[in-house]
Structure 1
Amino acid sequence: MASHLGQRSATLPIHFFKIILETNGERIKVPSKFTRKHGSCLSNPVSLSTPDSKKWIVYWTQEDGEVWFDKGWKEFAENYSLSYGYFVLFRFKGTSQIDVIILDKSSVELDYFSSGKGPVNTMNATQMGQEARPMPLMVPSQPRGKTQMWNVERDPNVQQVYADKGGPSHQGTNVQKKTKQQPDRMSPTQGGTCLNRPRSLKAQKVTKKFKSKHPYFTLLIEQSKLEENATKHVPKFLDCTRGQVDVMLQMENRVWWVKLICCREKYDLFSSGWPKFAKESNLEDGDVCVFELINPAIPQLQVHVFRS
């Protein structure tokens, strides 16, 4: 392995993380940016090392230029009961061993010793050295103008603050519990309910067809809301009346952070971060977006785009 580290040692170790979704329990995709930069150092299999001193042997496979942790990942996920909303932080040092830290839905590090379940698919050091070998990655060059499928636009230090504090900056936020239902809007806690009444016929049609177990709202995208420094009014989907909250917008396997300014009226405001999201998600004038509140604790909105 040492012969493969000469050109990369200045940039290692490197961290990346993945959010556990409903679709990655049996295998999980490695960020494309990581494989492009450090794929030549990635052995197959790798050893995922957790703070409870266990080592999990995981093999990766490659499909259409994308790298997936495959065989062995399901056992790892099941052992620590990884479920929707968990964060898994990977620390790659250029060797076959990757250190792993797990944060649960409360954004606090997992109690590994009480969460671990069964035997581990481990190898001893000699076996690992024999099995692990660098594998060439056939990662195609990225077409100009095409965005990556995974790219978290946040500094690693900010990510650590997020893990420690339970989210990005929430200073100034005043979250209150309601004692009775507001008469002028639907309850944000009412699952499967549309939280606004769209005015445009197009948005009404989308709302009528969209089905979800989570509360959601729809927005019709206008050209003025795609410009630099634009903001966007949204119906209240959190129980906050003042201050600001950082909200995660997720589309496929990519996420953006957008500042939500909480107002006293029945609408709040997407401010900083909204123009970046609109640009990089390739929103167009006339699109109808459905924002589905899939995790109020983060808070996290899944974004669906409907285009005629």
Structure 2
Amino acid sequence: MASSKRRKGNSLAIQEKTPGFFKVVLNKALQDGKLEIKGFVASKYRDFLANSVILKDPNGAKWPVKLTRSDGSTWLEKGWLKFAHFYSLEEGYFLFFSYECVDSCFHVRIFSKNYIEINYPFKSSQHEEPNLGGGDGVKFSSADSFKSTFPFCVIKVQPTYVKYYHLQIPISYAKNFICRGQTRNVDLRIPKGKTWSAKSSVTKQAGRSEIARIHGGWSKFAKDNQLRVGDDIVLEMIKQQPKTTFEVHIFRA
């Protein structure tokens, strides 16, 4: 991410004036593409929550997410995975939700496995905001509406992704579907087009959490396809063996 903001000194001990609850991120929520919300807020306000809500981070970035309800449970679903991928959520992370009734908004604070609040990346203005004027309440871009039976993730192109030699990908996606600590050769292919060779790896820098990247060929792919800041790309893993192959779908800003 190009820049971020640290809320210094914040640990898992929180005092909030508004109703709130904790959720621990499990792999099931990342694989199924939905997160069940429970606790005081979910039970008390279940019948008053709109069909869509806003997730808002401490920087003020807003994420529209649709709710689904079934058998007495309430789930964050369409839009949840985009939120999870943007903040590189993985199993064991803690989310603290506090509810603001006026705008059906959940203020979300994110804590890593060591109980320290994360650095919040700044969200690009290219992400669409909710439309509460009618319909289902949420607008989604073409990348958001992408569907596939293969594992995929959506990434917003940041300045560092076109200026330097790597693409940062969600750590949970990388560990689940690509590599676990080792460097791996991968192919990047545009639909019905050319293929580029690259590498994928998960590394850990001193004092920081793990970072997953595609590199060693990414810069040529970005240049040849004239990627620009604000573009959305979908990495769709269409083959895992003998060599991981991604079909890369580009949605221009």
Which category describes the TM-score, using the shorter chain as reference length?
0.3 to 0.5
Give the structure with the higher percent strand: 2
- Larger Rg, first or second structure (1 or 2): 1
Q: TM-score, normalised by structure 2?
A: 0.42
Higher relative contact order structure (alpha carbons within 8 Å, sequence separation ≥ 6): 2
TM-score with structure 1 setting the length: 0.35
Q: Pick the structure with more helix per residue.
A: 1
